[in-house]
Amino acid sequence: MEEFKYLIPEESGDAISLDARKLRLIEGSLRKIFDAHNYEELMLPTFEYVDFYASIRDQAEDSMFQFVNSDGKRIALRTDFTLPIARIYNNERTNEVKRYSYFGKVYRLAKRHKGRSSELYQIGTELIGLGGKAGDQECLSLIEETMASLDLKDLKIELGSAKFYLRLMELVKDDRLSGILEKKQLSEMKRFIKEKGITGSLGRLLENLPTAFGSYEELMAFKDYVKDFELLDAIDRMAALYEGSKHKEDIIFDLCMVPSQPYYTGVMIKGYSYYSAYPILSGGRYDKLLSYFDNEVPAIGFSYHINTLLNAYVKEGEADD
């Protein structure tokens, strides 16, 4: 037992290596921007009922840190902020537009030996009640403004579409496509198309999809392969978002983007630093999530992954030395 006086659980290994001073500077900068745009900061419970997450999100229970409380009920450490905030909005019994922000940790069981921490610091916002282009544009503009405040070089914003992805899965009717899209491997896609006997316009679309990544011009060129109305509409929504951006030079598109959350329904957004293989930011539109609370309200949000962001600062500093 003596040895444990000097050890930290591997699940929290990242947590103590974070630069506290830099973290507070980032918090202050983002909080100032959120306040200027009338985003109300929320304090949320650290514990939630396991069934709350499992029933709404269909989240695997083996990704939660679980406990049994004094009443014999299963509770878990908070795994995300979006669901508790959706509950707060629902409890206010309103359909008005609400803007929320949050600062805090989430806890998710990570696979061992993957170099991933289970204790993750996040900063983000949720915009509830504002649908369509107006909501998407406000979210993107806020992301652009906050990213500009970070003082990091070579930042990029990647746009994808859950609507495009979900329609594609509906047309193909084979869950294996999701893994192929994530890998963007052309040879696997060709093998899949041949095995499924997919021909015609859908076959041509799928064959060219692994390379549907890049600039606005490349996105527009890819439209030539798209004949399905819903897929075209998803691309047009992404294009409209780009056209309203003040930082077009920082935006790239990825039609192979697979939703990182099961509740995404529309635009998906990721932020990248040249110095990180993982996104420093992610978010998206989730217009159906509030329906779990019997409240049909559109919503969109994003969060900064602060562990990843701080590591990007370190690597950029090393590169500049």
- 195: helix, strand or coil: helix
Q: Which of 93, 89, 78, 1 is nearest to 46 (CA)?
A: 78
Q: How many helices (H) and strands (E) does the chain have?
A: 11, 12
Binding-site residues from annotation: 80-82, 108, 122, 126, 263-264
Q: Running DSSP on this structure, what letter comes out for residue 210?
A: G
Task: Collect all residues with Cβ–Cβ distance below 8 Å to 56 and sequence separation of at least 6.
Answer: 83, 289, 292
Lateral strand order in the sheet of 267-273 = 40-41, 98-107, 119-128, 299-305, 281-285, 267-273, 155-161, 251-254, 213-214
Which candidate, 93, 55, 89, places its Cα nearest to that of 74?
Answer: 55
**HSE-CB for 266 with a 13 A CA cutoff:** 23
Cα–Cα distance measured from residue 99 to residue 262, given in angstroms and rounded to the nearest whole number: 22
Kind of pairing between the strands at 299-305 and 119-128: antiparallel
* Annotation: binding site for L-histidine: 80-82, 108, 122, 126, 263-264
Cβ partners under 8 Å of residue 154, min gap 6: 273, 274, 275
